[in-house]
Amino acid sequence: MPARAVDCERLAMRLRKVLLASGAALGLVAIGQAAYLQYTYESPPECEGPRVGTALGERAHLFVEKLEMLKAQDIHDFRMRTQELQRSTRQRMEGLLSEARSRLVAMNPHHHSSASAVFRSASDTDRTWTQHPTDRVVLLIGDSLVTGVGCCCDDEALKQACEGPALARGLAKSLAEQLHEPLQWHALGLTGGGVRELEEHILPCLDELSASVRQRVCAVVIVCGVNDWKRAWRFWEKKRIDPAEFGKGLESLICGVRAKLGLHDVHIFLPAVQAGVYFAPRFPFILRKVLSYVSRIWDDEKRDVSRTMKNVTYIEAGLENYQDMDRDEHVKYYSKMDGIHPNSAGYERWAEYIATKMVESRTLAI
């Protein structure tokens, strides 16, 4: 073998050793950072507020506000007309009663009829504005991203006024805007839950939904995966599962949801969660890269499930939508308490992206 070829082979071997050593070193650094994060991490509380609501969309809100103004004016006019009608009717009835009494007395002077009042004053009434139940329901099932962890904890005023999990509210609002119809949302979440825990604890909750609500579900959004890959490297965890087991668990969860709803063709959406991990300010650079890669592996299982099951759509992470931001811009979309979960603005931005992809998939019949 020529000397030059031998030198090239030795150089290649050295480079491989260097790369292996570098990879091992980076892995150890990432493990150390992850261990420190786990030791110091404190999760924000879940959001307060209802787990069900109706989104009308901005245009519909303006319409309702205008309608409420018209209704108030209409009620005022109605009351005025009713009062005027009462006065004129009472005067007319009193005149008729007086005339009737006079005729009765003239016909039979000995009969003193104590004619009872035949007029009962009409009470003021309001027409009650009733909102008709919406025809369509969007159901969200998932982990802490569905329970709204982090969305209201940065602002006390926002916390007090919280109307439920931000992702569910934002998703329904954006869909209502794009579909031009009101939508009802339901959020069924389990903080810290993996795909197996969701199947065990959330599926029974579907029995509590009324038959009317279950029949009107037009889409189910399942948000999961983070808690599953977090446990994968913890050898002492009994609940840890590998990517393949996660995919099987997701298929089982989807089948269970459809069976509980009684809608075997209801469309399921599986959003990727890699973007939230990739830009989380709490993760150091090396750990962020490693966790982003791991998260993508679990997200790929969602893609595979969407390819093998009918009426299941995978929603890409959409990293390109965030690449133009600098680090300071990313920070403003995360909770100040942990720097991992989104805040209200972060949930709303993600909800708009998911809603747009849902509409673009053309699977939501209008």
Within 10 Å of residue 269's Cβ, how many Cβ atoms? Answer: 26
User: What confidence tens digit (pLDDT) does each residue in 76-112 have?
Assistant: 676 777 777 767 776 776 677 677 666 665 666 554 4
Q: Does the residue 269 lie in any domain?
A: yes
Tell me which residue of 353, 335, 354 sits closest to 344, measured CA to CA: 335
Residue 354 near residue 297 (C-beta atoms within 8 A) = no
Residue 166, domain extent: 44-65+136-360
User: Could you tell me if 147 and 184 lie in one domain?
Assistant: yes
User: Could you tell me if 32 and 179 lie in one domain?
Assistant: no
Q: What is the pLDDT of residue 107?
A: 65
User: What confidence tens digit (pLDDT) does each residue in 190-237 have?
Assistant: 999 999 999 999 999 999 999 999 999 999 999 999 999 988 777 667
Q: Does the residue 276 lie in any domain?
A: yes
User: Could you tell me if 12 and 59 lie in one domain?
Assistant: no
Q: Does the residue 86 lie in any domain?
A: no
Q: Does the residue 352 lie in any domain?
A: yes
User: What confidence tens digit (pLDDT) does each residue in 229-238 have?
Assistant: 988 777 667 7
Q: Does the residue 107 lie in any domain?
A: no
Number of domains within the chain: 2
User: Could you tell me if 157 and 269 lie in one domain?
Assistant: yes
User: Could you tell me if 15 and 53 lie in one domain?
Assistant: no
User: Could you tell me if 149 and 298 lie in one domain?
Assistant: yes
Q: Does the residue 99 lie in any domain?
A: no
User: Could you tell me if 26 and 141 lie in one domain?
Assistant: no
Q: What is the longest distance spanned by two Cα atoms in the chain? A: 146
CATH of the domain at 238: 3.40.50.1110
User: Could you tell me if 175 and 281 lie in one domain?
Assistant: yes
Mean pLDDT by 10 residues, the chain (366 residues): 59 60 59 63 80 77 59 68 72 69 62 41 33 76 95 62 86 93 94 96 95 95 94 74 94 98 96 90 87 93 97 90 64 87 92 95 74
User: Could you tell me if 32 and 162 lie in one domain?
Assistant: no
User: Could you tell me if 210 and 321 lie in one domain?
Assistant: yes
User: Could you tell me if 49 and 61 lie in one domain?
Assistant: yes
Q: What is the pLDDT of residue 264?
A: 94
Q: Does the residue 345 lie in any domain?
A: yes
Residue 270 near residue 306 (C-beta atoms within 8 A) = yes
Q: Does the residue 90 lie in any domain?
A: no
Q: What is the pLDDT of residue 61?
A: 54
User: Could you tell me if 187 and 300 lie in one domain?
Assistant: yes
